Structure 1
Amino acid sequence: MAKHYLYSDFSLKVQFYQENSVDDENTGTTNRVPVENFKVWAKPLKRTRFQNITAIGANLQDTVDIVVKHDDRIAEQIYVGYDNKLFTILSYVPDDSWGFGGYDTLTIKQIQKEA
């Protein structure tokens, strides 16, 4: 049975980004920059003590887990703007069930101090 969350739990707006190539006119080089695609509401997940121990063992202690409403577009994204910081998506677990009200879980890791 799928988990159900309150709509009020989804209190943070997150942005999803893909990388696009941009030419630098001064140097003639091509740089990869994140470009915002869309925004969704997210719910941060708290880890249990056992999940924290497991995260340390998997070298994921500096990551954050968030839940968003199921959206197929997320599979093509590389970065997430969360809490005014830029994160990379380490793990994406989509809701594969057939039905209404599915949630996707993402494990993200900060790559930049300020977005």
Structure 2
Amino acid sequence: MARKFLPSLFNKKIQLGTIKSVENDNTGDYSEQFVSQLSLWAYPQKRAIGQTYKLLNTDFEDSIVLVVRHNSKINDQLKVIYNGQQYNIINLSSDDSLNYMAYDYLTVKLSEKVK
């Protein structure tokens, strides 16, 4: 049986989109900007302390798991804006079943900007 979450848990708004080169109307220069493609309500899932220890020294060490209602538009190439910061999707666990309440688990990590 699929896990059910209370609707009240989905209390964080996230934006998913891509980074595109956008022209500045005032200067004519191009700059890299986040372009939103969809907006969803998410539930930031907590990890148990044992799970946190198992993730030490892995790519998932400083990651967050966001649960959203299943959406076929989500892919791991999209960027996520959560709490005003940009994240990369490092793992996408998508539920493609025909269940009424299907959820996607997005494991995201804060993106590091190269200067």
TM-score (norm 1): 0.83
| Deviation at residue 18 of structure 1 after TM alignment | 1.4
1:13-24 alignment, distance < 5 Å = 13-22=13-22
Q: CA RMSD in A?
A: 2.1
| Deviation at residue 58 of structure 1 after TM alignment | 1.9
Please say if residues 75 and 92 of structure 2, whose CA atoms lie closer than 8 Å, have aligned partners that are also in contact: yes
1:1-115 alignment, distance < 5 Å = 1-22=1-22, 25-26=28-29, 32-75=32-75, 77-111=77-111
Q: How many residues align?
A: 110
Amino acid at match of 1:44: P
| Deviation at residue 78 of structure 1 after TM alignment | 1.6
In 2, distance between residues paired with 1:84 and 1:23? 22
| Deviation at residue 31 of structure 1 after TM alignment | 5.2
Amino acid at match of 2:13: K
| Deviation at residue 19 of structure 1 after TM alignment | 2.6
Amino acid at match of 2:47: R
Q: State, as a whole percentage, how many aligned pairs show the same letter.
A: 31
| Deviation at residue 77 of structure 1 after TM alignment | 4.7
In 2, distance between residues paired with 1:50 and 1:60? 14
Range 56-65 or range 10-19, more displaced: 56-65
| Deviation at residue 21 of structure 1 after TM alignment | 3.4
Residues 19-54 of structure 1: CA deviation (Å, up to 9, x unaligned): 32336744xxx6543211111000001111221122
Q: Which runs of 5+ in 2 are unaligned?
A: none
TM-score (norm 2): 0.83
In 1, distance between residues paired with 2:37 and 2:106? 17
Higher share of residues assigned helix:
1
In 2, distance between residues paired with 1:53 and 1:39? 32
Q: Which runs of 5+ in 1 are unaligned?
A: none
